[in-house]
Amino acid sequence: MSAKKTTSSATSPTSNKTTPTGKPEPIGSAALKDERGGQSPVDEAVATAKEAADEAQSGAAGLKDKAKAEASRLAGEARDMAEGRAEGLKEQATSRIDETADNIRSAGREFGDDSYQAQAADYLASNLSQAAEMIREQDFSSLADDVSSFARRNPAMFLGGAALVGFAAARLMKSSEENRSDYARNDYARNDYGRNDYARNEYGQDDFGRDYGRGGVTR
């Protein structure tokens, strides 16, 4: 009777736990996982790296948000400063427009309240006053957009209107000055009635008077 030979293969000791594939888990690996909280060294390294990456990403996002907030704050301050200066310039412009309108109206009245020049001056001055009021009621950005849009749509009218205002104002002022100068040196102020022939006429020294006084008529 022959003895049966048995073969044995060297295998690693296994635990009662199994891997996800259904195979028994090596005892050494299980021991390492138990000692490190159920993670292998590789898993722990991966988790640590991921945690560091998350922290870095979170920190970068925080810095980005802070930078955006600071940029927004600085932009707001710059905008407020620009708007403040713009409002000051707008007030100066409207004050000058009102002053110009008053000067034009006064120049027109030099010709008389019912004259054509006075009516034209009042019309022009009223339009300027309305323009000044419109400028006051609008913010600077809207006003700039309106003016730019009008100038693009009507370039000739825009330039012509600006030139007309300046020309009309200058012409009215010049006409008013000439009118005053002519009146001061006209013929009525220095006319011949003050030194005319009636004051030294021939009636006081004519031949008839002389002859009559000398008795020439009797001869």
Tens digits of residue pLDDT in 67-98: 777 777 777 777 777 777 777 887 888 888 88
Give the count of beta carbons closer than 10 Å to the beta carbon of residue 119.
13
Compute the distance between CA of residue 49 and CA of residue 55 in angstroms, rounded to an integer: 10
pLDDT at 75: 78
- Per-residue pLDDT of 34-52, as tens digits, reads 454 556 676 777 777 777 7
CA 69 to chain centroid, in Å, comes to: 25
Higher pLDDT, 203 or 38: 38
Compute the distance between CA of residue 3 and CA of residue 171 in angstroms, rounded to an integer: 141
Q: Determine the residue type at 8.
A: S
- Per-residue pLDDT of 83-140, as tens digits, reads 777 778 878 888 888 888 898 888 888 888 888 888 888 888 888 888 888 878 777 6
Q: What is the DSSP letter of 7?
A: -
Cβ contacts of 115 within 8 Å, gap of 6 or more: 108
How far is the CA of 33 from the CAs of 19, 39, 113, in angstroms?
13, 5, 108
**Is the alpha carbon torsion for 7, 13, 16, 20 positive or negative?**
negative
Give the count of beta carbons closer than 10 Å to the beta carbon of residue 189.
10
Higher pLDDT, 22 or 66: 66
How large a percentage of the chain has pLDDT more than 90? 0
pLDDT at 212: 45
Helix axes 41-109, 140-153, angle to 10 degrees: 70
Compute the distance between CA of residue 17 and CA of residue 23 in angstroms, rounded to an integer: 8
Please report which confidence band the pLDDT of residue 16 belongs to, taking 50, 70 and 90 as the band edges: low
Helix axes 41-109, 155-184, angle to 10 degrees: 30
What average pLDDT is seen over the chain? 64
106 burial level (CB within 10 Å; 0-12, 13-18, 19+): middle
Compute the distance between CA of residue 217 and CA of residue 210 in angstroms, rounded to an integer: 10
Q: What SS3 class is residue 91? A: helix
pLDDT at 120: 87
Quote the Cα angle for 153-159-163, to 5°. Answer: 155
pLDDT at 5: 47
